[in-house]
Structures are given as C-alpha cells and as structure tokens.
Structure 1
Amino acid sequence: MKTILYLLMIFGISLNKVHAQNLNKKADSIILSEFKDQNGPGGVFMIAQKGNIIYQKAFGKANLELDVNLTSQDVFQLGSMTKQFTAIAVLILEEQGKLQVQDAISKYIPDYPSGDKITIHHLLTHTSGIKDFTKMKSLNEIAQREMTPKTMVDFFKNEPVDFAPGEKFDYNNSGYVLLGYIIELVSGQTYADFIRTHIFEKAEMHNSYYATDRQLIYKRAYGYHKKENGYVNKTIINFSIPYASGALMSTAADMLKWQNALNHNLLIKAETAKKAFSKYKLNNGEEFTYGYGWHLKNINQSPTREHGGSIFGFKTMGVYIPSADIYVLGLSNCDCNSPTQITREIAKVALETLQKHN
C-alpha cells in the first residue's frame, strides 16, 4: 500500500513538472512573438495561481545606455493600472464614512460646473461625460509643469462636456484626477501619502511608489520610445499631470501582493469590494463592462478583472481570473511593445493548462 501511495505521489510530482514545463514553453513563445529584440527594452511577465508565482521571467534591457538587463525585481511605471488603487482608496474612505460613491461631486468641489449632476460613481465608471484632459490640444503647454490637484482640475473643468452623466461609457482620465483630488480633500492627506499609508504599507508593497524623477528608485527600469532611427529615451512628463489616473510605480512581486491583499480582504471588506467588481448600467438600462478601476470581461467564458496602462515609455497589463485564482501580469519599458494581448493570451493558456491539470 505504501509503495502504491509513493508511486502515485511521484507520478503526481512528475505530472506537475510536465504541466509547468508546458506552460513555461507556451508563455515564452507568446512573449517572444512580440518581445523579439533582446538587446532593446523589454518586459517582465508573471503568472501566479492561488497567490503563488508559477512563472516569472524578464526579457530585454532595463537600461540601454548602461547595457543592463531587466530583472523580475525591476520597478515599472504602471500608467492607468493606477486607477485600481484610486478606486480602492475611494472605497476605503467610504468604509470610513467619509464619503459615499453616490455623492455629487459638488459636495466636495462646490464650484465644479454641473457638479450637482455628476457623482463619484460616474467618475469611477467613466460615465461622467467630462472632457478627458489627454485629448485636449493645450495639454502640451502644461506637460512639464508641476501642477497641484486643484490646478489640474481647473485645467479641464470648464471644457464643454461630451455627454450628460450616465448616458454612455467613455474611458476618461479626468474623472480619476478628480477622484484623487476628492481623496485629498476628504482624507486631509496627499494622494501619494494616502496610497502609501492605506495600501502600500498595509499590503507590504515595499517597492511601490508615487512616481518621481527626482529621487533614486532602486532597480528602476528606464522607459523608451522606438523611432525610425531606433530607441530613444521617453518623453518627460511631470507626474502631477497623470496624478491619480496614472502616476504609480511598482514591481511584479508587489502587484501580486496587491492582488492577494484584495483577495484576502486586507484593505476593504468583501462586501465593499463587490462594488469595484460589479457591472453597472447606463441611464437607458444598458449594461457596460467596467466596474470601479477594472474592466470586467471574459476568457473562455470565465469572468476576468483586467486593466492595462500606457504612459510615456511604458505599457502594462494585468488579468485576474477569480474562478481559477490566476493572476497574469505584463510590464513593458517601451511603449513600442504592448503586453495587453500577450497577457490575455498567457492568461487563456494558463487557464486551459491549469484546468486540465486540476
């Protein structure tokens, strides 16, 4: 009997290794189809299941001038994946009784045009209709200025609205800048300090930051563009511009800590978190596939929570499949290489491979 159990155990271990090797090969193949230049900027990719890393690799260079290879510990700018943190910060404040997502923004910013008709919920779900500042021609005039949250809001608040609140879903960075400003007004902390104390420190994300070019960041990956004549350093932008819509930095390991913190209700209660991961309806009753800070889609009929990011020199993508507890992350330090579709393809392969095994 002991011999049979021993053989079954050995067989199980061997089977695990085979599945892991197959998944590794498939992931490598998918990544290398896009990230072909190992002497150029590259990316870091990770697959985790049940909170544990089962695949993690770095491809390409962290710094071209110094010929430094990327490692899985490197710090990347997240771009719009920042919106996840902003949304959870709002829900933390709601649990503290300091705001409600159905509050009109005029309660916090009395002079905001038509602020009595726009709610925090509208900002979270990209249904506010306010002008997205990234589409304004005058953005170049302020791109390298140090802006306060108020001056950033003043930059776009008097622009004509695109539609009435709740009429349609239209991805909007201005809404998340407004949310950052409201977080500051309500909490009495800067956005950066609030995220650090209420999220980064609680989740033990010790290598995550509000982005800056003015302090040394250990193992920072440098960002690049690709032009006709080759790679160039990323365009400089003051991080007070993307602010709460796109100014955070992190590592693959810290982003897994973030996902685990959400799964274990470390930051907010499960009941509160449902608000972030629920689909909502427009005024006409039509459902759209965005919660608070996450796109809500499907892979092989399995619901996913996902979001990408794009900021000068960087592109990012994260996909979480709740039913299988699979988290897949892609971080790129050139906006010439998008990890969006790659990360979704790896998530699909991981789901199929791990479901077969289980």
Structure 2
Amino acid sequence: MKFRYFYIALCALLTSCGTSQKAVDYDANPAINLQRILDEETGEKLAHSTGLSLTVISPKLDIDFTGAAGFDSLEKDRKLDAAQPFRIASLTKVFVAIAIMRLRENGQLALDDAITQYISQEHIEILRKGGYHPDAITIRQCLIHSSGLYDYAEGGPEYIEVASKTPSRRWTRTEQIQFAMDYGKPHAAAGIEQHYSDTGYILLGEIIEKLTNTGLAEGLRSLLKLDKIGMNATWLETLEPSPEGLLPSVKRYVGPLDASEWDASVDLYGGGGLVSTTRDLAMFLQALFDGKIYEHEDSLAVMLLQKDYDAAGKQLPIQRLGFRSIQGKKNDIVAYTHSGFWGTLFIHFPEYQCSIAINDTNDADSEALQRVINYMLWLGKQS
C-alpha cells in the first residue's frame, strides 16, 4: 500500500545502488533487463508478486518499455497483460492537484484562498460541527496535507471495515466527509502539521466541479488535456464511460479479500477514482515534466514548492502539492512520486527524464520497483 512502496523507492535512492540482495547482471538492453526483473519477481522461486505490470520511459536513457508478468488475480486463471487497466487509488491525487493548479493558471482561484469560498454550505457546516474552522483551511493546505483534516479513508480501520461489509454501497462525498467527523478529530489547527488526508482531496474535487461547472470527470479530462496526451485507457470510474475495447481490469485486493467489485464510490471523488494503465501513467508524468500540461512556465515549480512557498527557514517538506519528494543523501538525485492503496506507484526522476509506473496485482512485498530504479541508476552511470 502507499507507505510500503514509498519506503522501497526511498531505500533505493538513499543507497545509490539499492539494497536488493539479488545478483546484478545488467547490460544496456532495457527491454531484456526490465522484463527479466518482472519475470523473476513473479516467478515461483520468489513468489512475492502474483502479477506485475511496468512502464519505464526515459528519452535520456533511451528507454521506452512496457511489459508484464504473472497473473491479474490471486486465482491465477489469466495471465496479466500490460494493457489491462486497474484502479490507481491515491495516484488520482496528483491529477487533482494538477487540475487545481490549472484553475490557478486560469485565474479562477488562488492557492491561499479559504476552501469556504468554493465548497457547499452543507459541507462547511459539517466541518464546523466536527470541530474544524473551515474559514482557516486553504486550498494549499489541502494540497500539501496540512489542513488538519482527519482522513476518512485511512485515518483508522473503520472505513475499510464498513466498506467490506457493504461492498455495493454507493457512497457520496457528503457521507465521506461526515464519516471523517464521526470517527476522527482534527489533528491540529490548519497549517501546523502534515497528516495525509483523503478528506482534503475530496474537497478539492468539489472545488474542481464548482469552478468548471461540470462533473469531476469532465473537469479533470479538460483541465489535464488527457485526450490530447493520448491517455486512451484512463477514466474516472462510473462518473464517465469507460473507453471501448479495453481488456478486463486487474483485480484489487485488501490483503486476501477481493475488493474488485466494491462500488467505485468507495474511493472516487478526488482522493481516488481513476482507472488507468502503467503506460498511460508514465505518459502522463512525461507530459507534465515536459511542459505539455501547464500553460504557465512557473506552474510546475510552484507545485514542487520551488517557487511561491515560504519555508520559514526550514527544509522543504516531503509533501509537495500532490507529489511526495525524495532526495538521495548519497547521490542528490531528486524524484517525485505517489503511490496508491491497491498496489500502484509512479515516480519521476527529472535528472534522467525518467518516468516509472508499476502495478502489483496483490500489492506484495516485492523488490521489483527497487530493482528497476537500481537499473535506471546503473544506466545513468554508463551514459
């Protein structure tokens, strides 16, 4: 899940060559080496991951790879195809954050605006009754997870417990906000501490709906230029039609529990909800860092806290506006990443113009991502 994958990527960067105990047998053929990693990590000898799909794109390192190995479910009755889509869960937050930044570019909001300027009166009152001061919570704080809002989804075990007992329940955003009030308390006053919060992001989803005067799906698709980028296998589940001609989706699990048929609304309104493929996800990161999504030259720098952010003399936080940041202590390599509940992660290394997207069928304790990063670093040293 989100913190496990984040830790693996962090370990690889901090140690320069990673901590994998497997023998290193590299050459300069990315297709052979990357497919070997997938095959080994899903092979019977290791039995870590049931299935892995992977895309790595790096013009600088001459990599353009998409591949898969293993199976698309724990039943192991169908081989995994790299073109199979999957729920990406919290990676959706990066898309939402970029959409908010696009609204900023359009002059429709400022990052330090209070959320009360844009969310419904009903939601404002729910927050107040829950002990919050919504007039003091800003858009920026929701983006950077410093709003103080309790996370309805993963603040405690209650939400998953309820969802598992009522898998067909159609949740609303209002019910999820109320869930956060019923099962948690404010972490701190807004802007004081960082606590990961899906609640803040579903409020950002509401802001996108209001300012685009459309549904969230239409707002994201337009603001992020998804069709122009060529993301033909990405959609907001149940809020827009799924693309035609796609293969069956990869199964999703909570431990051994099959959650594939849980209603999409369990994670839909801004904290999660997108379905995609590793190919589309890596293409999206490449488009973002190549300047093909933002209209203003400074927008990416603002998103990464390289501009228009007062750190008050402190080190920049790991949380950026949507992304998490990693910087290696030994090699100073910087990366921007996000991971998702079901076993998905994407990560971009500006130094190598490299985007990696990986999905694990059963969210296992695999070394695949670490080994892919190790190989990328090895290729970087050869160039």
**In the alignment, is the contact (CA less than 8 A) between 2:279 and 2:357 conserved in 1?**
no
For the Cα contact (< 8 Å) 1:275–1:291, is it kept in 2?
A: no
Q: 1:36 and 2:60 equivalent?
A: no
- Secondary structure of 1:318 counterpart: strand
Count of residues in Structure 1 that have an aligned counterpart in Structure 2: 331
Larger displacement relative to structure 2 (165-174 or 38-47): 38-47
Percent of aligned pairs with the same amino acid: 22
Question: 2:54 is matched by which residue type in structure 1?
Answer: F
Kindly indicate whether the alpha-carbon contact (under 8 Å) linking 1:72 and 1:252 is maintained by their aligned counterparts in 2.
yes
1:132 alignment counterpart? 151
**Cα drift, residue 161 of structure 1:** 0.4
Partner SS, residue 20 of structure 1: coil
Gaps of 5+ in 1: 1-17
> Is residue 2:340 matched to residue 1:309?
yes
CA spacing shift, 1:61–1:71, aligned 2, 3 Å: same
Structure 1 residues 62 and 297, CA gap change in structure 2 (3 angstroms): same
Structure-2 separation of matches of 1:53 and 1:308? 22
Residue correspondence of structure 1 range 168-187 to structure 2 within 5 A:
168-187=193-212
Partner of 2:321: 292
Alpha-carbon distance between aligned partners in 1 of 2:202 and 2:51, rounded to the nearest angstrom: 29
| Structure with the larger strand share | 1
Q: CA RMSD in A?
A: 3.1
1:318 aligned onto 2:346: yes
1:271 corresponding residue in structure 2: 298
1:45 — aligned with what? Answer: 54
Larger Rg: 1
Give the partner amino acid of 1:100: A
Q: In structure 2, list runs of 5 or more residues that go unmatched.
A: 1-25
The residue that corresponds to 2:281 in the other structure is 255
Counterpart in the other structure of 2:177: 153
TM-score relative to the length of structure 2: 0.76
One-letter amino acid of the structure 2 residue matched with residue 108 of structure 1: Y
TM-score by length of 1: 0.81
The amino acid that maps onto 1:36 is G
CA distance in 1, matches of 2:336, 2:242: 33
1:20: which partner in 2?
28
> How far apart are 1:318 and its partner, in Å?
1.2
Give the 5 Å matches for 1:64-213: 67-109=77-119, 110=121, 111=124, 112-113=127-128, 114-134=133-153, 135-136=155-156, 138-139=158-159, 140-141=161-162, 144=167, 145-157=169-181, 159-199=184-224, 200-212=226-238
1:149/1:180 contact within 8 Å kept:
no
Asked whether the 8 Å contact 1:168–1:282 carries over to 2, the reply is no
Residues 221 and 241 (structure 1), Cα distance of their counterparts in 2 relative to 1, 3 Å cut: closer
Identify the structure with bigger relative contact order (alpha carbons < 8 Å, sequence gap 6+). 2
Structure 1 pair 223/212, CA: closer, same or farther in 2 (3 Å)? Answer: farther
Query: What is the one-letter code of the residue matched to 1:78?
Result: I
Offset of 1:136 from its aligned partner? 4.6
Residue 295 of structure 1, CA deviation: 0.8
Once the two structures are TM-superposed, the CA of residue 59 in structure 1 deviates from its matched residue by 0.8
